[in-house]
Structure 1
Amino acid sequence: MNPKPPRGWRRRDALGALAGASALLAAGAASAREGAPLPAVGSAYALADLPLIDGSTFKAAEARGQVVVLYWWASWCPFCALQSPHVQKLWAAQRARGLYVLGVSIDRRADDARQYQQQRGYNFPSAWQAGAVLPKPGKSLPVTVVLGRDSRVVMAEDGQLFPEDVEQIARFL
C-alpha cells in the first residue's frame, strides 16, 4: 500500500529538502572522514588533558578508575542531535557512580559547540577540535567509545546509538 502524499506536496519539494540535508551533511563530512579506525575492544586507550569549551580543562588523571564515555559530536550532525539527549541523561544519572562523559565537538568554531550545548542544557564536559591529541575515530558521526575503569576499550561504535544502547553503557560501571 502506497500512502498518499500530503496535500500540496510536490516531488521537487522533497528533492530540495533531501539536497539541503545532503549538503549539510557533506559540509561536515570532510572532518568526519578524517577519522582513524575505531579502537579495538580490549585495547588500551590513553587520555590526555584537554581544554573544554566551557573554559575549564579535562584532567586525564581525574578520570582514572572511572568508566569514560568518549563521545564525538557536532552541532550540525542530525544523528548527534538524536543521541546527545540520551548521553546527557546517562551523564546525569550515572556520574555519581563513576561514569565520566567527555564529549569532543568537531564543529569548525568552538562558539558553535558552546552555544549548541547551552541552548539544549547539556552539561557533559566537551572539548573542541582536539584532533591532534584525540583524533576522531570512525567514518561517521556520532562516535562513542567507552573505556572501562582500567582504561581499556569496552565498546566502540561508529554512528548513532539507539536510546537503549546509550542506557546500556551503565552496565560497564
Structure 2
Amino acid sequence: MNKKSLYKSLSICAGLLLASHVWAIEKNNVAPSFELNGTDGVIKLAKYQGKLIYLDFWASWCGPCKQSFPWMNELQAKYGAQGLQVIGINLDVKNEDARQFLAIMPAHFPIAFDPSGVTPRIYGIKGMPSSVLISQEGKVLFEHAGFKDSDKPELEGKIKSLLEGKK
C-alpha cells in the first residue's frame, strides 16, 4: 500500500470513528432508510421490508472484507429462500475500485455504492468491515465490527435463530 492509499484509508477510518459518536443507532431502533446506486440499479432498504437483512459495510482496501465475501455468499445461498437478504454497501471513493474488487471476489447479493460515506455515518459504523442485522420489521437487532473466521458461528447462529422465529 502506498502512502497516498494509506492516508486515504486512515482518513476514511478516522471520519467513520468521529461520525459514529454523533450518529450511532441503538438496538431495537428503526434502521435508517437509504437509497443508493448499485451494481444492478438503485438499492433501497425499504424494498427488502419483511426480510431479515444482513447489511455489510465494506471497502476494496479492507483485508477482512475479502475474507467475508465468500461467507456472505454462502449465507445468501443457504438462507435466502428462508427470508435472509445480504446487502453490501461499498465505501470506496471511486466505484471503479469496488468494481475491480468485485471482478475478483464476486457478490451473489446486491451491492450499493456510497462514495460520500453518508450511510455509515447514519448507522454509526466504527470500522470495516461492519455489519448490521435488521429485523423483518426494519429494526436494528445487532451490530458487529470486524470479521474473522471465529465470528462465523455466532453470526450464523443469530441469523438462523431469527429466521426460525426465535429471538
Instruction: Classify the TM-score, shorter chain.
Output: 0.7 to 0.9
TM-score (norm 2): 0.78
Question: Which residue number in structure 2 is paired with residue 165 of structure 1?
Answer: 154
Structure 2 residue 13 is the aligned partner of structure 1 residue 28: no
Question: Which residue number in structure 2 is paired with residue 11 of structure 1?
Answer: none
CA distance in 2, matches of 1:41, 1:152: 8
TM-score (norm 1): 0.76
**Does the C-alpha gap of structure 1 residues 166 and 131 become closer, same or farther in structure 2, counting only changes over 3 Å?**
farther
Structure 2 residue 77 is the aligned partner of structure 1 residue 92: yes
- What letter matches 1:163 in structure 2? K
Structure 2 residue 64 is the aligned partner of structure 1 residue 79: yes
Question: Which residue number in structure 1 is paired with residue 31 of structure 2?
Answer: 45
**Does the C-alpha gap of structure 1 residues 69 and 131 become closer, same or farther in structure 2, counting only changes over 3 Å?**
farther
CA distance in 1, matches of 2:73, 2:126: 23
5 Å-filtered alignment, 1:79-158, equals: 79-129=64-114, 131=116, 133-136=118-121, 137-158=124-145
SS of alignment partner, residue 120 of structure 2: coil
Q: Which has the higher helix share?
A: 2
- Report the more deviating stretch, 100-109 or 30-39: 30-39
Deviation at 1:49, TM superposition (A): 2.4
- What letter matches 1:167 in structure 2? E
- What letter matches 2:69 in structure 1? S
- What letter matches 1:149 in structure 2? Q
Structure 2 residue 52 is the aligned partner of structure 1 residue 67: yes
Q: Would you say how many aligned residue pairs link Structure 1 and Structure 2?
A: 153
- What letter matches 2:136 in structure 1? R
Q: Which runs of 4+ in 1 moved over 4 A?
A: 20-26, 130-133
Deviation at 1:133, TM superposition (A): 4.8
Q: Is contact 1:39–1:156 with CA below 8 Å preserved after alignment? A: no
- What letter matches 2:71 in structure 1? H
**Does the C-alpha gap of structure 1 residues 80 and 159 become closer, same or farther in structure 2, counting only changes over 3 Å?**
same
CA distance in 1, matches of 2:68, 2:2: 18
Deviation at 1:130, TM superposition (A): 5.7
Q: Percent identity?
A: 25
CA distance in 2, matches of 1:72, 1:50: 13
Q: Could you list the runs of 5+ residues in structure 1 that have no partner in the other structure?
A: 1-19
Q: Is contact 1:87–1:166 with CA below 8 Å preserved after alignment? A: no
Q: Is contact 2:93–2:115 with CA below 8 Å preserved after alignment? A: no
RMSD: 2.4
CA distance in 2, matches of 1:29, 1:170: 35
Please tell me whether Structure 1 or Structure 2 has the larger radius of gyration of its CA atoms: 1
